[in-house]
Amino acid sequence: MSKRKNRDVVYAKLLDLIGKRIRQVRKERGYTNFETIANIADIARPQWGRYESGDDMLLSTLLHVLVSLNIDFKDFFTEELNQALKEFTNEP
């Protein structure tokens, strides 16, 4: 597999994990669906749903999502996310 293709695969995995983590934190915060938190965050509901599904987003958007969920980077980025990032940085 080419280096670029491998990078794209790892990025897709990271984005998927970030989306799943956003969903997990949302539910932990008591939002059973993303409609309410999307409204609070002033992010279109379909767009919020795409983020939870692992679509790409700007760093500023991720910051906005984390602020809306009242979680900091340290608590958001779990060991699973950190391990996936290490896989990328340790590639040959």
Per the structure, the count of domains in the chain is 1
Residue 92 lies in a domain: no
Considering the entire predicted model, what is its pTM? 0.86
pLDDT tens-digit profile of 55-83? 999 999 999 999 999 999 889 998 888 88
Residue 14 lies in a domain: yes
Range of the domain at 35: 3-83
Residue 91 lies in a domain: no
Residue 78 lies in a domain: yes
- pLDDT (0 to 100) of residue 92: 52
Residue 43 lies in a domain: yes
The CATH number for 74's domain is 1.10.260.40
The pLDDT-based confidence of 91 (bands split at 50, 70, 90) is low
The pLDDT-based confidence of 2 (bands split at 50, 70, 90) is low
| Residue 10: its H or E element | helix 3-28
Report CA Rg, the chain: 14
Residue 79 lies in a domain: yes
